[in-house]
Amino acid sequence: MPRCASVITRQRLRLIAVISAFPSAFNSAIWAQDTALPFIGNDTVTVQQDGERPIRYQGRIEDISGESLILRRSHITKTQVFRVSQITELTFVRSTDFEAGLQQRQAGNFAVALSHFDAALKHEYRPWAQNELHAAAAKTCILMGDRNAAVERIETILESDARSRHASLLPLVWDHRLRADECVSATANDLQQGSAARQLVAASRLLGDEEQAAAAAVTLRRLSDSAAPRIAELATAQLWRVTLQTDAAGLTHQLPIWQRHLRRMPLDARGGPQYVIALGLQRLHDYDQASVAFLWLPFMSPTDEALAALSLLQAGRCLTESGRVSEAAATQLELSKRFPKSSAFATLQAE
């Protein structure tokens, strides 16, 4: 019988198919409570610590929250706790609706994909797996251009796990030059009201607004000091945009600090901050390093297609400045093929 699973790697969080040995209704009962039935352990976790070979464990994932994953290997053994940052691969059983949603998203049928994810939520009893479903739905909303709906999905995750790694999926604005329909919407009231995630999103949007920029910066400073770790690190990275706008002379000193901060961030949270660092390198006329930094996002973290497209445009400009004309042409071709509806491609055509 078909079986499904999900895979998380250090290079990119992604889901892959696996075969499920039990019908979904039977699986739901197993996850809901312990029974006298034989132990079901079809989840696998591959862990690698510094300087050691990866070790693969099989069992049943009982929880994923914050930076920890709990795995039960059998009925008679104690649970084991792993740090998410040490996990190179994660495979877990998922429902047919979950799998169908991923397939429909891959095919570009976003509305159909969301309907499958919502159907899967009705029968999913594992809280951590519900968060994985909401995360998959949030990615789908971003791809279809409904960033506000994505924020709502991520808020739902953070209500149950304030330290969730999925905070990195928030559709933050990293460049105020993006077209309005490529950004989340926000009002001045959002800077003070609602969840920390909502305030962070609003601040990122309003940081490019002359009238609200100062208030947005105040909100970001508060969140960087007081919010949960994932929200705080993103708020800190957003403040780098303030330095770009107001203290260009200090970039030479600030960039190495930003780069050290970036290396401490999880890979799935680096896309936007990496883009800001690339802008800083471009501002300092270090075009070779800037082009490499810009190219990281469209190939390693392309969920936000508008920003990925703008990264390709900026990479092409930097390559042109450094005299790498053929490489610049290749990035322009990549932009035209992957993101023909983006504002970045419209700008390229105008140029």
**What are the pLDDT digits (tens) for 211-267?**
999 999 999 999 999 888 899 999 999 999 999 988 777 899 999 999 999 988 888
More confident residue, 15 or 105: 105
**What are the pLDDT digits (tens) for 6-59?**
443 433 333 222 223 223 332 333 333 333 444 557 888 888 877 788 899 888
**Alpha-carbon torsion, ordered 86, 234, 7, 152, to 10 deg:** 140
**Alpha-carbon torsion, ordered 160, 164, 166, 167, to 10 deg:** 90
> What per-residue confidence (pLDDT) applies to 73?
83
Q: Is 51 left (phi over 0), alpha (psi -120 to 50) or beta?
A: left
> What per-residue confidence (pLDDT) applies to 19?
21
* CATH fold label, 247-351: 1.25.40
Who contacts 37 (Cβ-Cβ below 8 Å, separation ≥6)?
30
Residue 33: HSE in the Cβ half-sphere, 13 Å Cα cutoff: 3
Structure-token pair, residue 209 = 């607004």
Structure-token pair, residue 158 = 């953070």
| CATH 1.25.40.10 placement within the chain | 247-351
Give the separation between CA 346 and CA 25, rounded to whole angstroms. Answer: 49
Amino acid identity at 54: P
Per DSSP, the chain holds a count of helices (H) and strands (E) of 14, 7
SS3 61: strand
Q: Determine the angle formed by the axes of helices 196-206 and 147-160, rounding to 10 degrees.
A: 150
CA 115 to chain centre: 21
- Reported pTM: 0.82
> What per-residue confidence (pLDDT) applies to 29?
30
